Structure 1
Amino acid sequence: MIETKQGLLESLLEQAITNARDTNKKQFISMTKEIDSVEPLYFFESAKDIKMDRTFWTSTSDQFYLVGVGSAFKIRANTDRFQVTEEQWRKILSEAIIHNPFNAPGTGMVAMGGMSFDPKKEKTNLWCNFDDSEFIIPQFILTKNKSNQFLTINVQVTKTDHPVQLAKALQQSVERLLKSSGKLPNGATIKARKEIEPEQWKNVVQLATDEIKQSKAEKIVLAREMRLKLSKEAEITAILSNFITSQTNSYIFAFEHGDDCFVGATPERLVKLENRQLLSTCLAGTAPRGKTSSEDERISKDLLHDSKNREEHDFVVEMIKKAIKDYCTDIQIPNEPVIYPLKNLQHLFTPVRATLQNGYSIFDIIKQLHPTPALGGVPRETSLTFIREHEQLDRGWYGAPIGWLDGNQNGEFAVAIRSGLIQGDEASLFAGCGVVKDSDPEAEYEETTIKFLPMLSVLGG
């Protein structure tokens, strides 16, 4: 058993209950304790036993994990979502009783969540369990930061709660989460797959190229859907385990909302903030991996010199530079991209580093960056209008900002690509591509087919 300082927890709860009585309002408390090593996937799997929604985030190359269980509070915003979310987050932090003696990013009170790609797009039943903006402060959070691990308990108390009883109940939940069988479930396999109206999608690609040739836009990103039938109800832990093994340069995530779970492994960072140091990355321009090292090298060289992909990449570089210039100082951008290899794909990659000025937050940057030209297009509003009117797909959280932030102004958000929405024994997968004036509908279709591979592979197909 891992000790969580129940005496301290009881003391904090007693203080919170007293505050709740004095103010006649709920009181939030957050307590963080350093713990012995726990396997994050086992912690995630154990959460099924206490029947709470689960949230998972890892940057495996950084040896960083966040696993959230349950919900102590949900921040929802359907209008002015960046501003409203930040205002609610700041209010919670200012009023909470927080015990966190550690400076490690991802410790203390943490919110995990995401947003829809386009709140103006008509919503379908596919995404009925996901709001346009929803951030969860989990009741229990496991944080792994390289060799150190932490457990955080978040809870809202009322004036009628009893500190000893509540502390005991929280401790019992912690013990169940930390108790592992040492086994992970077996995953499902794919029984059938259906591409949603591929010929109509190609026609929309052609329509987009016609718009671009008429100088109505420079680039329009179009996405499509593949629907799967699985051999049994999907095991999210098995999917995450497969991703961790196969997608070592990606952000691996899962956001469980009721019976649905949005899961994926995206290589595309939107923004990372740590000690006011900002890192964003341009990841646009895609090619498959070669079957041999010589073929792989040839494909890499072709990608670096391909005019269509370089044009697509340059759009993103210039957009990010323009988006952050009024919020940051000391902006550093390399002159040329490099190749960013993944298991199934390789991309053109350019990092952007800067220092965030005082008075601004990670939400200010997200608002400026989303959607990047890699997911929306150029100009932004023109391309979004085209997508809204012509794309058959309700993207939901696909292609949108997902991530986390803590109470010490650290956080990281990625762009939710290479992803799927799991619904029991069915799943919807999503993939997109950037359409420019020389785009060929059949070639763009093949590019999206390649981009389905990461999700297909972890689902056993």
Structure 2
Amino acid sequence: MTEPSSRLDASDPSRESAPLVVRTVLVEDTGSLLALLPEDRDVTAWVRRGEGLVGWGVAAVRRTSGPGRFEEARTWWLEHAGTAVVRDEACLPGSGLVCFGSFAFADEPGDSLLVVPEVVVGRRGDTMWVTTIGAGTIPAGPGLAAAEAVDAPVGVTFADGALSGTEWETVVADAVRRINEGALEKVVLARDLYATAEQDIDVRWPLNRLAESYPMCWTFHVDGLFGATPEMLVRRERGLVTSRVLAGTIRRTGDDARDMALAATLARSSKDLEEHEYAVRSVADALAPHCSSMNVPEAPFVLHLPNVMHLATDVAGVIHDADDPSATSLDLAASLHPSAAVGGTPTDVATALILEIEGMDRGRYAGPVGWMDASGDGEWGLALRSAEIEGRRVRLFAGCGIVADSDPESELAEGQAKFVPVRDSLGGTD
């Protein structure tokens, strides 16, 4: 659905061949990062609990597709990082030369990209910085000030996407039958929903609403794909690797006592524990070749979000060689994708079944989204609780892990709960 913007697709050979010139300076704290975003289609964001990165403008961009999309993107990035002229006063992960990225879920079809903004503003703890990036020359530094207030979407209506709820339940039942016949152990099935407003929607509106309502999630936007993901696919920082695995979900009721009882039920649910075990195992197996040591907790904890609760496990490791150019955060993300949390088990059988029965093109939904700096450090989440925005239309996504004893009606209710963050973000103020 999302069409590439003209700026992101504009090709200028002289710009591509010129080295990137980068300057990072420390600045006084100016408040909310998202509030700094101008009215610009090419804004980028990766923010959690007030920290992270936002950017705007385009200094360089590379689009890739197909099975080699990650490798082509990494090669392009390492070439730019190797020739860039950088002056960095902050010397923190995310300062200096940095790119944002968003990758297709499937090998085909799908469009993926890395983009280097002209301006990146970052915050970590009490430190805030501004990076300006140009091809061959450095642009003038921006004046940082909160942008004008963003108008709320008007007259938003919702409609089913590729499948109605009833049709999707039939697909889930088909998947359960195949699992019980032994074809596979788990598959993640998603559905989409369309929202249409009377006028074009400014993505800054839902971004701010998501960040306010879901501060423990990573609020993101790259090239029309936005959301608030609770799942960190992989973080690499100075040789340390972490991955937050979520699988197994129950909807919150809003009653604290009732929700505590539901959390206990979730923690004992054989169906959800089975689903979670597949996801943790797939992440640990994928990271193991890159790590000299790993810590995989024996039991998950329950992550409480405003709309749902998840079984969660934080996997951690130490990579063999932090200077290895084949072990960037993007390489780690590529080795993990698709994990059992978004694909299934076994991976090849599950992804083939998704293509066969899901009935829609996921695009970049459930693919890696995040950022990377010149050292290869970075953070890549899974593009969950997300949507694609184009003009006045938004395409929302939600998925559920299906195992042997999954109930189609219950899975539909879980999916509806996962639509809530983006759906609510398109509404007006409370």
TM-score (norm 1): 0.84
Q: 1:418 aligns with which of 385, 406, 418?
A: 385
Deviates more, 1:328-337 or 1:377-386: 328-337
Give the % identical residues: 29
Kept in 2: contact 1:221–1:377 (CA 8 A): yes
Matches within 5 A, 1:248-287: 248-256=215-223, 261-287=224-250
Q: 1:30 aligns with which of 13, 22, 30?
A: 22
C-alpha deviation, 1:384, in angstroms: 0.5
Show the counterpart of 2:57.
70
CA distance in 2, matches of 1:367, 1:407: 18
CA distance in 1, matches of 2:218, 2:70: 22
1:145 aligned partner, one-letter code: R
Show the counterpart of 1:40.
33
Show the counterpart of 2:413.
446
Q: 1:318 aligns with which of 281, 286, 290?
A: 281
Deviates more, 1:68-77 or 1:344-353: 68-77
Kept in 2: contact 1:303–1:309 (CA 8 A): yes
Q: 1:186 aligns with which of 143, 151, 155?
A: 151
Show the counterpart of 2:121.
142
CA distance in 2, matches of 1:219, 1:278: 26
Matches within 5 A, 1:275-314: 275-314=238-277
Show the counterpart of 1:457.
424
String of CA shifts for 1:154-173, please: whole Å, max 9, x gaps: 1112xxxxxxxx76xx32x7
Show the counterpart of 2:8.
none
- Structure with the higher helix share, 1 or 2: 1
> Whose radius of gyration is greater, 1 or 2?
1
Kept in 1: contact 2:65–2:108 (CA 8 A): no
CA distance in 1, matches of 2:395, 2:81: 36
CA distance in 2, matches of 1:91, 1:420: 31
Kept in 2: contact 1:422–1:428 (CA 8 A): yes
String of CA shifts for 1:311-351, please: whole Å, max 9, x gaps: 11010111111111111022112111111011111100111
1:112 aligns with 2:79: no
Show the counterpart of 2:90.
102
C-alpha deviation, 1:119, in angstroms: 2.2
CA distance in 1, matches of 2:17, 2:384: 40
Matches within 5 A, 1:227-238: 227-238=194-205
TM-score (norm 2): 0.90
Show the counterpart of 1:16.
none
Show the counterpart of 2:79.
91
CA distance in 1, matches of 2:240, 2:167: 44
1:195 aligns with 2:160: yes
Show the counterpart of 2:5.
none
String of CA shifts for 1:253-284, please: whole Å, max 9, x gaps: 1123xxxx211001011001111101111111
CA distance in 1, matches of 2:328, 2:196: 42
Q: Which runs of 5+ in 2 are unaligned?
A: 1-13
Deviates more, 1:357-366 or 1:397-406: 357-366
Kept in 2: contact 1:275–1:410 (CA 8 A): yes
Kept in 1: contact 2:330–2:372 (CA 8 A): no
String of CA shifts for 1:29-61, please: whole Å, max 9, x gaps: 1111111222322321x2x2xx4511111122x
Show the counterpart of 2:10.
none
CA distance in 1, matches of 2:265, 2:60: 49
2:82 aligned partner, one-letter code: S
Q: How many residue pairs end up in the alignment?
A: 406
1:427 aligns with 2:394: yes
C-alpha deviation, 1:396, in angstroms: 0.7
1:174 aligns with 2:124: no
> Secondary structure of 1:174's partner?
coil
CA distance in 1, matches of 2:411, 2:83: 51
User: Cα RMSD (Å) of the superposition?
Assistant: 1.8
1:112 aligned partner, one-letter code: F
| Misfit runs of 4+, over 3 Å | none
CA distance in 2, matches of 1:271, 1:235: 29
Kept in 2: contact 1:32–1:151 (CA 8 A): yes
Kept in 2: contact 1:290–1:299 (CA 8 A): no
Kept in 2: contact 1:275–1:409 (CA 8 A): no
> Secondary structure of 1:243's partner?
helix
